[in-house]
Amino acid sequence: MYEMLILSHGALAEGYHQTMKMILGEEPDITYCALEEDDSSEDLEKKIHTCIHWQNSMPLLVLADIYSGSPCRSAITQLFSSSKKSYLIAGISLLQIILLSLYAFIAINDAIHMDFGLNRPLIAGCFAGVVMGNLSFGLTVGATLQLMVLGVSNFGGSSLPDFMSAALIGTALGTISGKGVEFGIGLAVPVGMLLVQLDVFARFANTFFQHRADRYMESGNIKGIERMNVLGIFCWGFSRAIPVFLCLLLGSELVQNFVAYFPDWLGDGLKVAGGLLPVVGIAILLKYLPTKKYTAYLIIGFVLSAYMSIPMLGVALVGAALALLAYRRSGEKELTSVMEGADEDE
């Protein structure tokens, strides 16, 4: 059994509560709280605190209209500082869906033309975290997916898993589902693998416009060439924006049911897979680095992290110091060899 709290802006929560009352009858463990137009943040916190049965041992299920909204954030703040077991399911607004879809449209074209880094999973996860009101969640999902593409690049017509779009979808759906970071990463990885097929489609569709541009070039039609290049931009952009839009639009209504019927064994498997992804990314990166030559530094970093529990920033600073010493030592060796060669010439 669960205690349930429905949160919303305006009268939406009351409407849901009345509907549930008509279907289930009077349920004292189901309450609602709405943010009214004249409510201050203090008023909202008091109303939410009154609605929660703090002495009740049953876990609390919070249903909120928008994750980044004031009612949801106020409830999270109060529940985080308490020992009451709780679960959160929140929705996503149309504006958030449009912003994330627009980012996907711009990011893939940025990767092809300007390369400001918008297509990197870390940057995409950070943006999605800001839009969803959970920056740390987005950074964690994006950084984990970024590890998957370290040392990996596509050449020519080859395609890679679309972890940029996966970071947007994983962050948004992971946030509104309330299942945690591992769940968001576990959703993002198969999404990224599936979207590689749309990358192939975008390349195929773009060749149509490029062949048209070739014919315009033969006839000297400059405006026609420009028009075909612009249409090619839409091929790439929509290949990312449309799946992101559809996933988030359907997810805002269906993710609650999906999570409710999600098998425990599959959820645990996705969590394990999410924990293994950073290791896979690091392993791919090490394969392209001169690891054998600098094995001693690898061992030092491992000991500092695993046995001395030094934070990642501390390990990175030690690595930077060792790299600086190695650079200076190599410079001194080169200078010594040059001076010895000059002495031999004399």
User: 137-155, pLDDT tens digit by residue?
Assistant: 889 989 888 887 765 665 5
Instruction: Supply the pLDDT for residue 252.
Output: 45
Determine the pLDDT at residue 345: 53
- The more confidently predicted of residues 112 and 106 is 106
CA–CA dist 132, 255 (Å, integer): 15
Residues 33, 63 contacting (CB under 8 angstroms): no
Q: How far apart are CA 69 and CA 254, in angstroms?
A: 20
| DSSP-assigned letters across all residues of 27-39 | -TTEEEEEE-TT-
| The pLDDT of residue 254 | 52
pLDDT per residue as tens digits for the range 119-136? 899 999 999 998 887 888
What is d(CA 78, CA 70) in angstroms, rounded to the nearest whole number?
Answer: 12
Q: Average pLDDT of 39-49?
A: 80
Closest by CA to 111, choosing from 74, 153, 50, 83, is 153
Pairwise CA distance, residues 128 & 123, whole Å:
9
Say which amino acid occupies 47.
K
> Which residue did the predictor score with more confidence, 50 or 89?
50
Confidence of residue 100 (pLDDT cuts 50, 70, 90): very high
Helix (H) or strand (E) holding 127: helix 121-132
- How confident is the model at residue 212, as a pLDDT? 86
pTM attached to this predicted model: 0.61
CB 79 within 8 A of CB 86: yes
Give pLDDT, residue 153. Answer: 63
pLDDT score, position 256:
46
Q: Is residue 35 within 8 Å of 61, Cβ to Cβ?
A: no
Mean pLDDT, residues 203-225 taken together: 84
Q: What is the mean pLDDT of the chain?
A: 78
For the segment 199-215, the average pLDDT, to the nearest whole number, is: 81
H or E element in which residue 90 lies: strand 86-90
Q: What is the Cα–Cα distance from 199 to 34, expressed in whole angstroms?
A: 44
Taking a C-beta distance cutoff of 8 angstroms, is the pair 277, 143 a contact?
no
The yes-or-no verdict on residue 201 having pLDDT over 50 is yes
- Per the CB < 8 A criterion, the answer to whether 36 and 62 are in contact is no
pLDDT digit string (tens) for 253-306?
454 455 556 566 665 665 565 556 556 667 767 777 777 888 888 889 889 988
Task: Indicate the DSSP class of residue 117.
Answer: S
More confident residue, 62 or 251: 62
Average the pLDDT over each of 96-105, 129-138, 232-241, 285-294 and give the range with the smallest value: 285-294
Out of 34-38, 169-173, 237-241, 272-276, which region has the weakest mean confidence (pLDDT)? 272-276
More confident residue, 102 or 253: 102
Mapped onto helix, strand or coil, the DSSP state of residue 83 is coil
The pLDDT value recorded for residue 344 is: 55
Predicted confidence at residue 253, as pLDDT, reads 46
